[in-house]
Amino acid sequence: MSARAKFPIVGIGASAGGIPAMEDLFKNLPASPGMAFVVVTHLSPERESLLHEVLARYTGMPVSIAEDGSEVDPDHVYVMPQNAVLRIESGNLRIKHQSAAYRERKPIDVFLGSLAEDQGEYAVGIILSGGDGDGTLGAKLIKERGGLVLAQGSDGTRPRNADMPQSAISSGVVDIAVPAEEMGEKLIAFVQGFSTLDRLTEGGGPSTAHMGRAREEIYGILKAHSGHDFSGYKTKTFLRRVKRRMQIGQITELSAYIELLRRDPPEVTALFRDLLINVTGFFRDTDAFEFLAKRVVPEMFEGKTASDTVRVWVPGCATGEEVFSIGMLFREHMDGLPATPKIQIFATDIDEAALGVARAARYPQTSLDGVSAERRQRFFINEGESFVLTGEVRELCIFSPHSVLKDPPFSRMDLVSCRNLLIYFGPEIQQRVIPIFHYALRPGGYLFLGTSESIGQHGDLFATLDKKQRVFRAREHISARSRLPLLIGEGRTARLSGDDSDGRTRASAGYPLRQSVELQVLERHAPPHVVVNAEGEVVYYSARTGRYLEAAQGAPSRQLLTMARRGLRLDLRAALREAASTHQSVSRANVAVDDEEHRLHLVNIMVEPLPQRGNSEPLYLVLFQPTGTSGAKPDPESDIREVETSAQLERELRDMRERLQSTIEEYETALEELKSSNEELVSVNEEAQSTNEELEASKEEMQSLNEELNTINAELSDKIEELDRANSDLRNLFESTDIATVFLDRDLVIRTFTPAASEFFNLRASDVGRPLSDLSSRIDYPEMQAHIERVFAEGESIAHHLARDAKGSYYLVRLIPYRDKGARTQGVVVTLVDVTPLAEAEEHQKILISELNHRVKNMLAVVTSIANRALESSSSKEEFAAALVGRLAAMSRAYGALSRENWTEVSVHELIAQEVGAIDTTRLTITGPEARLKPQQSLSIGMVLHELATNAAKYGALRNERGRIEIEWSLAGNELQLVWKETNGPPVKPPEQSGFGLSLVKGEIEYRLSGVVETNFAASGLVVRISFPMTR
Amino acid sequence: MYRVLVVEDEWLIADDSAATLRRAGHQVVGPAPSVKAALECLSRHEINAALLDVQLFDETSFRIADQLQDRNIPFAFVTGCDDSKLPVRYAKVPVLQKPVLPHSLLEMIAQLASKIRGSFGQDPAG
């Protein structure tokens, strides 16, 4: 923390219409005003804010977006970023990002509240154009801590949206309300005022005695103005408030300020309000609320059952802190009760804007200083940076606009709590309001006043329960159903009118001797008299009024006219009225009065207004001067005659009077009845008001329901989007698949199908909803219906191969149960897959196996035959074995060559090489072109070559060392010609009969390959010529 | 005793079967390796019975079989295949599985012979 001089930090709150206001404000500020500015607005969380760029155009000061932890410097403008809540701690800005769930609705209250707490007197709050009541509570907190509050006034350039500044103004927390362009000037003066006025509170300037005198003077002015004594106020706080007012008014000398106070009543009012600014808060005066909680609340609830109601009226509720405090006490008390009565707390105020704030029940943290941690936990929900009152307290309270002075009061209340209101009334109004509260309370109801308020003269209406805590109880109504003061003449209703009040005291400065002389004259020689007030109530009796006044039947009354004896009333009434309206003395001569013996007395009535003393109510002196005998003054001229006529006239007059009297009485009865009807109507009105309040509450509920519905709607929209996406995916999947699939529902009716299915089965969109039997006719699957039903019943899939259809295709039908999330079968899925390739492959496989079988068996048969022949031509086992094994080996080699070529073709060369491979190559000549033989030909040639080689080894050229074999082949057209020529072998002679070997050669070539064999047993050696067609 | 037509494309097997039949005293017509050769034998020689290899080189012997049936000449199929592949009209034709042992061959001939005798009531071998 730097050790630089303190400077004011200005929190600017603005919303709709705030930008032109800020333009005016900033453009009228100097380049270095010596203050820091922090701008807090109602930003939409989605739109990126370019406010800092906009503001940079209006001022030369650097404009930046506030960052968490940044120190606030003077001559600098900071703008709140979007999606964040701003506070200030120890001169550093703190930013908290908002969660998606809570959007701070009163960011201005939050910031100004924290600014008030952090900077105290150096906090300045400016409320500019905007649409709600945000900022009012924050501004109040700034004022409480000694800071300055400005609001955009509505003369000159009106703010575009006046609600925000207006709400602050009407709650009385604004020090200066001016158009935005004038604010700069005021701010500069305020800054300059700090240094000059610090002397005052530090006591380093004028002497203490001088300060003391000045203070006394100010106390005096205040007391005269408001009746309120501030001498007990904390001196330092008092002086600070005075200093602030001086700062605002740009006054530097205390004496000059006192002069201002003397001549400018609004300034006295302003100072007065400032001094009382701590008046509202939660649980203000903890002791008083403790008393309320311990004594009053339990007594109020005692004996109340669940069908009873506890009714409370809080007039002058302002922003609602007091009301909710009472609500919280009630809730705490009801925790311990088995059966709770209904609660109705009527909270009224004439300030609609304050009511709006109260109804919202949303307070910045700083407002909750008077609330204990447990209560905070229980009764408040922390939403972002503000605290919202829970429903359990809020629902007890009903807010409505109401004027204590003008509107009919509520009635049948158990508690009236009025702790913020009477202070602002003059003593005269206070005295009128107390009876109104008495009317509102049921007998024994409680009246809870503020710490400096009292019930004044109305000790007859209230009994004091605890003087210190200002709790009173309503007495039973002693007069006949205490009437609402229906004024005969209007009294003055101004608040702190302060016109000609200059503090003249009421006490008369009398001398004792004079007093006793006057007393004697009054008592013994003055005519009987009474003093009545404007309502006609007697406030003073002299002695000996019995002749003229009589106690009326029924409950005691102080009404003069009720008590006046017959004959007097008419004239008295007339005289009083005249005196009240003309403010002059009025007299009526020779009024006849009846006494108990029906004797007539004549009396002069004189009604004289008493001189006004200060602000007291008007009083009238009523004098009864007896005029002696009942006769009129003797008239010398027409004495006797007139005596008789006048007696007659007097009789007539008396009769007339009597008639009039009874008319008056009837009229008065009618008036009485009218008054009670009126009172009943008042109660009805009050009930209608509370109904209205309940409707307001319903409306609020509907609004929050609406919010909920909006949220749900948003969620549903999201779900629908997801569903759309899933559907789209499904559709794409369907279309991309080639597999014909049909979905059947619980009733085995077509629900949906893939495009492949629609081609296969000729399905159209209109087939949805049609039963399955329409499908089965198109494919050869008569059991399909039965199978489907089985699948549905048992939940097991069934696969079925269809026979080859007309186009030669094979299909596999699968019936699969369609399961829902709970794995219950809800339908059947029918899929058809083209398995033709598979089926064909299977068939081919069968064919191959069959062929294999065939070949193998054939081969075995061949082997058997070879064995038989070998047996026939062998004479020993060894011979047999050699013959058999050799041939089998040859066959095997031939098969081997084939298999190497995958049963396609084998080259002649390879075959030969295989068979004569064992023979010494010097004895061989192998020549021939590239030629390839088919499988059957290869096998035969292989066998043939083997026979020839074996024969050569046994009998031919290979028997000696010189023998040679020439193998040569060639292709001639379609024929292969092969020559096997042996030379230099032992002498050859043709055998007697063909051995098996040669017959095998013939058989293979001629029989099998449709070829030709020539054997020539030449002398030089055996020559065998073979030829056969390559293709049949 | 009987004149038996042997139709078989593998020489070693044909030769072997022929030798077995001859050793037993029968006369062998052929052997013929193809349908063409077999039909030629059929037209030239009188035949009492026949043994047909089902699968010849690139054809089946069914044409020969049909002819034999038309002429009421008893015959048997010799095959390495699964005999269920035979057409329905040959349902009553006996089948020998390769490899055929000599005695099975001779027994089959005897069986076929009884059919010959049965239909004509005389022994054509004389």
**Which residues 6-45 of chain B have a CB within 8 Å of chain A?**
9-16, 19-20, 31, 33
- Strand A932-933 to A924-927 pairing: unpaired
* pLDDT of res. B126: 43
Interface of A with B in 384-403 (CB under 8 A): none
Would you state the pLDDT for residue A976?
92
The token duo for A222 is 């205040």
Say how far apart CA A441 and CA A437 lie, in whole Å: 6
CB < 8 Å to A860, chain B: 98-99
CA atoms within 13 A on the CB side of A891: 16
Average pLDDT over residues A428-452: 86
Chain A nearest-CA residue for B30: A1007
Contact B58 A1032 (CB under 8 A): yes
> Taking 60 as the threshold, does the pLDDT of residue A820 lie above it?
yes
Contacts of B79 in chain A (CB under 8 A): 854, 857
Instruction: Give the distance from residue A741's alpha carbon to the nearest chain B alpha carbon, in angstroms.
Output: 37
Mean pLDDT value of segment A428-441? 85
Question: Which member of A854, A864, A1007 has the closest CB to residue B11?
Answer: A1007
Residue A321 has pLDDT above 60, yes or no: yes
| pLDDT value at residue A505 | 36
A322: helix, strand or coil:
helix
Tell the CATH superfamily of the A280-474 domain: Vaccinia Virus protein VP39 (3.40.50.150)
Residue A755, amino acid: P
Report which of residues A613 and A514 the model is more confident about.
A514
Report which secondary-structure segment, H or E, holds A218. helix A208-226
- State the smallest CA–CA distance between residue B88 and chain A in angstroms: 18
Contact A861 B14 (CB under 8 A): no
Could you please state the CATH topology (level 3) that the domain comprising B3-120 is classified under. Rossmann fold (3.40.50)
H or E stretch at A586: strand A586-594
Contact call for A856 and B85, based on CB within 8 A: no
Nearest to B99 among A854, A857, A999 (CB): A857
The answer on pLDDT for A393 being more than 70 is yes
Contact B55 A854 (CB under 8 A): yes
Q: How distant is the Cα of A861 from the closest Cα of chain B, in angstroms?
A: 4
> What pLDDT score was predicted for residue A43?
65
Tell me whether residues B16 and A868 touch, CB distance under 8 A.
yes
Reported as a pLDDT band with limits 50, 70 and 90, residue A100 is low
Q: Do A854 and B81 touch (CB under 8 A)?
A: yes
- Chain-chain contact of B33 with A1008 (C-beta, under 8 angstroms): yes
What does the H/E/C string look like for chain B? CCEEEEECCCHHHHHHHHHHHHHCCCEEEEEECCHHHHHHHHHHCCCCEEEEECECCCCECHHHHHHHHHCCCCEEEEECCCHHHCCHHHCCCCEEECCCCHHHHHHHHHHHHHHHHHHHCCCCCC
> Which residue among A856, A862, A872 places its CB closest to the CB of B10?
A862
Q: Is the peptide bond before B99 cis (omega within 30 degrees of 0)?
A: yes
User: How far does A860 lie from chain B, in Å, by closest CA?
Assistant: 6
**Tokens standing for residue A334:** 């009801």
Residues 918-937 of A with CB under 8 A from B: 936
Query: Hey, is the C-beta of A864 within 8 angstroms of any chain B C-beta?
Result: yes
For chain B, positions 68-107, list CB contacts with chain A under 8 A. 79-82, 85, 97-102
Nearest CB to B80; choose among A854, A1003, A1007: A854
Q: Which residue in A46, A47, A39, A42 sits closest to A23, CA to CA?
A: A39
Test mutation, A868, A873, A1002, A1031, chain B, max B CBs within 10 A: A868
**Spatial contact of A1023 and A1001, defined as CB atoms under 8 Å apart:** no
Contact A404, A433 (CB under 8 A): yes
Nearest neighbour of B11 by CB, restricted to A850, A854, A1003: A1003
Q: Do domains A9-202 and A876-1029 have the same CATH topology?
A: no
The residue that leads in pLDDT, A83 or A537, is A537
Q: Which residues touch A420 (CB under 8 Å, ≥6 apart)? A: A279, A280, A316, A317, A318, A322, A450
Question: Best interface-test mutation with B: which of A857, A858, A863, A884 has the largest number of B CBs within 10 A?
Answer: A858
Q: Are B100 and A862 inside 8 Å of each other by CB?
A: no
Token output for B100: 């055929």
SS3 A90: coil
B55/chain A closest Cα distance in angstroms: 8
Joined together, the tokens standing for residue A20 give 């032109």
Nearest to B12 among A850, A855, A1003 (CB): A1003
Q: Residue A508: is its pLDDT beyond 70? A: no
Closest residue, chain B, to A848 (C-alpha): B81
| ipTM score for this prediction | 0.84
Contact B99 A855 (CB under 8 A): no
Sheet holding A600-609, edge to edge: A538-541, A529-533, A619-626, A600-609, A586-594
| Token duo for residue A821 | 């999330």
Q: Residue A1003 and residue B9: Cβ atoms within 8 Å? A: no
Checking if the pLDDT of B51 tops 80, the result is yes
DSSP assignment of A361-396, as one string? Answer: TEEEGGGGGGS-HHHHHHHEEEETTEEEE-HHHHTT
Residue with structure tokens 């800054």?
A191
E strands in A866-963: 906-907, 924-927, 932-933
Q: Residue ranges per domain, chain B?
A: 3-120
> CATH for A9-202, among 3.40.605.10, 3.30.300.30, 3.40.50.180, 3.40.109.10?
3.40.50.180
What is the structure's pLDDT at A507? 35
A868 and B100 in contact by Cβ < 8 A? no
Q: Which residues does chain A have within 8 Å of residue B55's beta carbon, measured at their own beta carbons?
A: 854
CATH class of A876-1029: alpha beta
* pLDDT above 70: percentage of residues in chain A: 89
CA distances from A948 to A116, A377, A457, A1024, B26 (A): 125, 116, 157, 9, 32
Of A850, A853, A1008, the CB nearest to B9: A1008
Q: Domain boundaries in chain A?
A: 9-202, 280-474, 530-631, 679-734, 737-834, 876-1029
Instruction: Write out the two tokens for A554.
Output: 């029924």
Q: What distance in Å separates residue A890's CA from the closest CA in chain B?
A: 14
For B97, nearest residue in chain A (alpha carbons) = A857
Phi, psi of A333 (to 5 degrees): -70, -40
Residue B117's pLDDT is what? 64
Which secondary-structure segment (H or E) carries A356? helix A352-360
Q: Does A1022 touch chain B (CB under 8 A)?
A: no
Mean pLDDT of B31-39: 92
Lowest mean pLDDT among A290-299, A606-615, A828-837, B29-38: A606-615
Checking if the pLDDT of A354 tops 70, the result is: yes
| Spatial contact of A127 and A139, defined as CB atoms under 8 Å apart | yes
- What is the overall mean pLDDT for chain A? 82
State in words which class domain A530-631 has: alpha beta
Q: Which 8-state DSSP code applies to residue A549?
A: B
Judged by a CB distance cut-off of 8 A, whether residue A994 touches chain B is no
- The partner residue sitting opposite B100, judged by closest CB among A861, A936, A1007, is A861
* CB atoms A850 and B19 under 8 Å: no
Among the partner-chain residues B13, B19, B82, the one whose CB lies closest to the CB of A862 is B13
**In the predicted model, what is the mean pLDDT of residues A2-23?**
81
Mutate to test the interface with A, among B11, B56, B82, B104 (most CBs of A within 10 A): B11
Check if B50 contacts A (Cβ < 8 Å).
Answer: no
Most distant CA atoms of chain B, gap in Å: 38
**pLDDT tens per residue, range A661-695:** 889 988 988 998 898 898 889 888 888 988 888 89
Distance from CA of A916 to the nearest CA of B (A): 22
| H or E segment to which residue A216 belongs | helix A208-226
Residue in A closest to B9 by C-alpha: A1008
A to B CB pairs, distance under 8 Å: 72
Q: pLDDT class for B114, splitting at 50, 70, 90?
A: confident
* CB nearest B99 (choices: A854, A864, A1010): A864
B11, B33, B98: residue with CB nearest A860: B98
The answer to whether A855 faces chain B, any CB pair under 8 Å, is yes
Would you say residue A492 has pLDDT above 70?
no
What chain A residue is nearest to B99 in terms of C-alpha separation? A861
Residue A929 has phi, psi (to 5 degrees) of: -75, 170
Q: What is the average pLDDT across A311-319?
A: 89
Q: pLDDT at position A566, please?
A: 78
Chain B positions in Cβ-Cβ contact with residue A865 (cut-off 8 Å): 12-13, 15-16
Pick the CATH number of A737-834 from 3.30.70.100, 3.30.450.20, 1.10.3720.10, 1.10.260.40: 3.30.450.20
**Which sign does the torsion angle of CA A108, A110, A113, A115 carry?**
negative
